[in-house]
Amino acid sequence: MSEETPLKIIRQNRRSMMMRATLGGVEVYIPARYQAGDKCVVNFIKKNLPKLAEHVPPAPPVQLSQAQLNARFAAMCARMNAKPARVQWRDMRRKWGSCSAFGTITLNTRLAWLPADLVDYIFCHELAHLQELNHSKDFWAIVAQHIPDYKDKIAALRALEKAWWGKA
Ligand SMILES: [Zn+2]
C-alpha cells in the first residue's frame, strides 16, 4: 500500500496521537481537542504513515455492491415483515451491525466483503432484534424461522473474523 492507504481519523478522549495498521487501511487516533486538519495531526500522519502503510493487510475483495446490499436488506425486511425506524451504514471495525432500543439499525459497510448468505444472516439477526432486544431463546427462534442453518452462518462468520481481525 502507498499514498492511497485509506485513513480513518478517530477523535477520542486521549492525551496523545496514535496510529495503527488495520485491515485495508490505517487508523489515526487523535485527542478530541484536535481536528483532522490541524498541522500537528497532518505532520504526525506524514511522519508515521510510510512505515505503517507497509503493514496494512489488503482489504478483502468486495462481493456485493451497496445497491445489492440495500436490495437484500429490503428483501429481508419484507420477508420478516420488519420495519426499522431508521437504517444507517457505517464503517465499523469489529461489529457487523447493531439495533438500538429505538429501532435504529446500524450496518457495517464492510458487509460488502461477505458472501450473500452471511449478509442475509446479519440482516435477519438485526431485524429480529426489533422484536427481541436480547439473545434469548425467543430471539433465536425468530432467526431460525428465516435462516434455519444460522449456526453454520455464525461459525462461518467467526472463521472470517478470526482470519481478518485475529478475533477469537
Ligand atoms: Zn444481536
DSSP track, 106-168: EEEGGGGGS-HHHHHHHHHHHHHTTT-SS-SHHHHHHHHHH-TTHHHHHHHHHHHHHHHH---
Question: Are 38 and 72 within one domain?
Answer: no
pLDDT, position 2? 46
Residue ranges making up the domain that contains 30: 7-53
Instruction: Identify the CATH number of the domain in which residue 114 sits.
Output: 3.30.2010.10
- Residue 119: band (very low, low, confident or very high) from pLDDT cuts 50, 70, 90: very high
Question: Are 41 and 116 within one domain?
Answer: no
How far away, in angstroms, is 118 Cα from ligand 1 center? 14
Structure-block grid coordinates of residue 96? 457487523
pLDDT, position 166? 67
Distance CA 108, CA 65 (A): 13
Task: Collect all residues with Cβ–Cβ distance below 8 Å to 23 and sequence separation of at least 6.
Answer: 56, 57, 59, 60, 164, 165
How far away, in angstroms, is 102 Cα from ligand 1 center? 15
Q: Which residues pair with 97 in a beta bridge?
A: 107
**Is there a domain that residue 123 lies in?**
yes
**Is there a domain that residue 157 lies in?**
yes
- pLDDT mean across residues, the chain: 92
**Is there a domain that residue 2 lies in?**
no
Question: Are 83 and 132 within one domain?
Answer: yes
Distance CA 29, CA 49 (A): 13
In the block, residue with C-alpha cell 505532520 = 43
**Is there a domain that residue 1 lies in?**
no
pLDDT tens for each residue of 77-116? 999 999 999 999 998 887 899 999 999 999 999 999 999 9
**Is there a domain that residue 60 lies in?**
no
How far away, in angstroms, is 125 Cα from ligand 1 center? 6
Q: Residue 44: which of 21, 83, 80, 16 has the closest Cα?
A: 16
Q: How many residues appear in the chain? A: 168
Whether pLDDT at 1 is above 50: no
pLDDT, position 56? 86
Distance CA 44, CA 42 (A): 5
How far away, in angstroms, is 129 Cα from ligand 1 center? 7
Residue 5, exposed/middle/buried by CB under 10 A (0-12, 13-18, 19+)?
A: middle
Q: Which range, of 26-35, 50-59, 133-142, averages the lowest pLDDT?
A: 50-59
How far away, in angstroms, is 83 Cα from ligand 1 center? 17
Question: Are 47 and 97 within one domain?
Answer: no
Domain count across the chain: 2
How far away, in angstroms, is 27 Cα from ligand 1 center? 26
Question: Are 87 and 124 within one domain?
Answer: yes
How far away, in angstroms, is 32 Cα from ligand 1 center? 30
